[in-house]
Amino acid sequence: MKDASDLVVLDTLFGQQDRMGNFHFYDYLMFKDSQGELNTKKVRSILKDAEEANPALEAEIDAAKNLSNENEQRAALITIATDYIKSMTGNTAVTAKKALFKDNDCGLKGSKNWSNSGLIQRMSHVNQETYDQVMALYKFAVIGSPDSYLTKQLAMNSSERSEFKRNLKLVASNMNERCHAGKLHTDLNLKTFFKGEAQETVCGPKLSEFTAEPAKALEAGEFVAKKVYNVRTSQIFNEPVVAGQRKLSDLSKLGVTTSVGDVLKPIRDHQLNQYTFSEAIVIASDGPLRSFIGQTIYVSKGVFQ
């Protein structure tokens, strides 16, 4: 159920045009072998083994494959495979189907198949992490200023950005409203389920309460990072560098601006050719450097406020 609900969320977000009607399945048999070990094997492979072990079955298998009705054909082949497993192991096999998704590369093409299907509007169960990430994405992409990131990092054009935001509003609003109405339960965590632990549904604030982060007033001697210096390779990058390694993406591409930015406090300045850069401690962050608060990074001077 977790995978199914995640699929509904993602395909609605991206307006996946060729998912519906493009489901494929492989038939499998689950059975215990003669030693009592559990096996899972594709019906097609079992039929091949059966033909090799008993060439007389070839005619029966061919006749089943030539049946005009697809459901009858499938049932006949499964029966042959099940009988073969029974004769080889003495055990009865159980049929299982494995889904296969093919050719699903048509997102953000203006399709409304998923938004009009009503699936997201009726979804009742989802994983808590999935729910939280959708709310965070809504806050970033709808309330924030994500166009630079969506364009430069995800290569979306203007129409794709608009469609993505429209779909995101649909997904987030329905999930949030249903959660607060007690109709959406975030109880699809396999680990806690099988441990028998209670799975609390946390809806968070209503979308109407979501606001952009206010600008943080800078204290004396603080500045907002715009570029970061890699002290190990002696290079200036547009990406933050932590402990001498490139860790994150360009702050501006992530929607982090000088008004809602990463506040740094310089420790000392250094000189590299024509560049002056500061060794600084991350004081506060509402963005990508929030995991590095209290740590030292290296920031080029002259490109920050």
Domain stops at, among 77, 101, 125 = 101
pLDDT of residue 118: 82
- Percent of the chain exceeding pLDDT 70 equals 67
Strand partners, 246: 241
Supply the range of the domain harboring residue 172. Answer: 113-209
My answer on whether 252 and 274 are in the same domain is yes
Answer whether residue 281 shows pLDDT above 80: no
**Total number of domains constituting the chain:** 3
47 compared with 303, residue with greater pLDDT: 47
pLDDT of residue 21: 66
My answer on whether 83 and 55 are in the same domain is yes
My answer on whether 47 and 117 are in the same domain is no
| Residue 218 belongs to a domain | no
My answer on whether 117 and 199 are in the same domain is yes
289 Cα distance to chain centroid? 21
Provide mean pLDDT across the span 51-61.
91
pLDDT of residue 251: 33
Task: Quickly state the pLDDT bin for 300 (edges 50, 70, 90).
Answer: low
Answer whether residue 258 shows pLDDT above 60: no
Domain stops at, among 209, 231, 261 = 209
My answer on whether 142 and 204 are in the same domain is yes
pLDDT of residue 97: 86
Model pLDDT for residues 73-127, shown as the tens digit of each residue: 999 999 999 999 999 999 999 999 887 776 666 777 777 777 788 888 999 999 9
| Residue 3 belongs to a domain | no
| Residue 84 belongs to a domain | yes
My answer on whether 143 and 97 are in the same domain is no
Q: Look at the alpha carbons of 77, 78, 84, 87 in this order and tell me if their dihedral is positive or negative.
A: negative
pLDDT of residue 157: 87
Burial 58-85 (b: 16+ CB within 10 A, else e): eebbeebeeeeeeeeebebbbebbbebb
Domain stops at, among 159, 178, 209 = 209
Q: At what angle do helices 57-65 and 43-53 cross, to 10 degrees?
A: 150
My answer on whether 118 and 195 are in the same domain is yes
Provide mean pLDDT across the span 180-187.
92
Encoding tokens for residue 27?
A: 């038939």
| Residue 261 belongs to a domain | yes
